[in-house]
Amino acid sequence: MNINSMPAIPKIILILLVILPLSQIHAAEYEQPPTLSADILFPDIELTKDHYKVQKNIPTDGFLTRATIKSDFGTFTAAGPGMLQVRLNEINALLKLETLEASEEFKRGAKESTSEKAGAFKQLYEKPKETAAGIGEGVNRFFKRTARAAKTGIQTIDDVYHDRTPGSSGTAGPGAKLPGNDIMETAVEKESKYKKAAQASGETALNILGFDDSRRKLAKRLGVDPYTTNPVLDEKLDEVTWSIFAGDLGIDIATSLIPGSIVVTTSTLATNLVWDTPPGDLRLRIEKTLLGLGIQQSQVDQLLRHRMYPLSYQAAFSNAMESLGKLDGIATVMPLALTVTSVGQARYMVNSLRMLASYHESVKPLKSITVDGTVVARNADEVNIIVGPLDYLSWTSVIDNFISKDRFKGQKNELHIAGKMTDMATERLQKRAWVLHENSKLFSFTR
């Protein structure tokens, strides 16, 4: 029967009968990312304590989980592998700082003193411009160590105290499509009185007086990132450091009063290098490392100014690139890295490189890197190695389109992810002969 010769209404009905089953079949090809129990997703994490509670139901987006934490210090979110433990560690750090501030010894030591340092710091706060003018030659000597500061802006107060707002210094590009595009963690949305003093007097003044060193020592004792994207912790680190620094207690004595041991997770990007190195020196090290790999100066400058990469992320990025070395195509990573539009994507980018560096050093040497939606590496046996710092991978059109690329057809392909994947994702990937590694050891970064 010729469908064109049929009356209008029966023709429509016939078309619907044909189309609807096809659409249902198409819908069945993919799955809706599930909401899962926190107990199942995070069996090794203490989800409830006196000062916090993790919500029971955890939504996923096909790649990452989104955990919500209710605490005595506010509500926090944690997205991406390992970040729940990082956030809980930060909440524990806030509790320790609160306990420290309440102690009688801290109160006595943190009182305003007549010491030269306390007097200078008080003057800095009350009369910042006059204090900065009096520092004189010390300021000049300090800036000689970072001669490129004026060119790149890497010594500005916003860089040091990471007032990072949505929108990067990059332009629209491939990085904007990475997982984590809605994780818009910003550090300090409201300027603190400490930052205002620094802005007026110059960040150098705070460094000469040792405030920044003291703040990093405090963060190290707590096992947290001094360049944290947690605004509550960021402000509290400022507050406690100010009290210690302006008083007679001293940072070493104060940190000795903090109870408990340091907890450092695989996901935190703080390391001894970040804790122990002044920010100006750390930036110079990052620059030297990347230039040594053949990265363009303009791209290095852009990374150092990028609002979505706190300094700890920049350092981890540089370290991972250094571990990978001068692989063929290493420079192709930069356009992807520089076009992320959120802190979540920046963290995804950094952790992807860290996983590849771990593979390169501990599994089998890589010989080349290309970028095709994400970083794709190739090892000495001509196997494509794709890594994903993912919590829970679902079978969606995004992952289907990615693995269907011509570059993977007829090739040996391996996928390493930090977390787990659904049964459907496992079945579909194995059907196309992909070798899968869930809970990959590559995410257990070596310090």
pLDDT tens digits, 372-417: 999 999 999 999 999 999 999 999 999 999 999 999 999 999 999 9
Run of H or E including 116: helix 116-126
Per the model's pLDDT, the better-predicted residue between 256 and 37 turns out to be: 37
> Has residue 155 got a pLDDT over 60?
no
Q: How confident is the model over 280-296, as a mean pLDDT?
A: 97
Q: How confident is the model over 242-265, as a mean pLDDT?
A: 77
pTM for the complete prediction? 0.83
Q: How confident is the model over 192-201, as a mean pLDDT?
A: 55
The reported pLDDT for the residue numbered 260 is: 76
The reported pLDDT for the residue numbered 127 is: 59
Per the model's pLDDT, the better-predicted residue between 220 and 187 turns out to be: 220
Q: How confident is the model over 91-100, as a mean pLDDT?
A: 94
The reported pLDDT for the residue numbered 195 is: 55
C-alpha to C-alpha distance for 59 and 55, rounded to whole angstroms = 10
Q: What percentage of residues in the chain have a pLDDT greater than 90?
A: 60
Q: What percentage of residues in the chain have a pLDDT greater than 70?
A: 72
Per the model's pLDDT, the better-predicted residue between 67 and 161 turns out to be: 67
The reported pLDDT for the residue numbered 291 is: 98
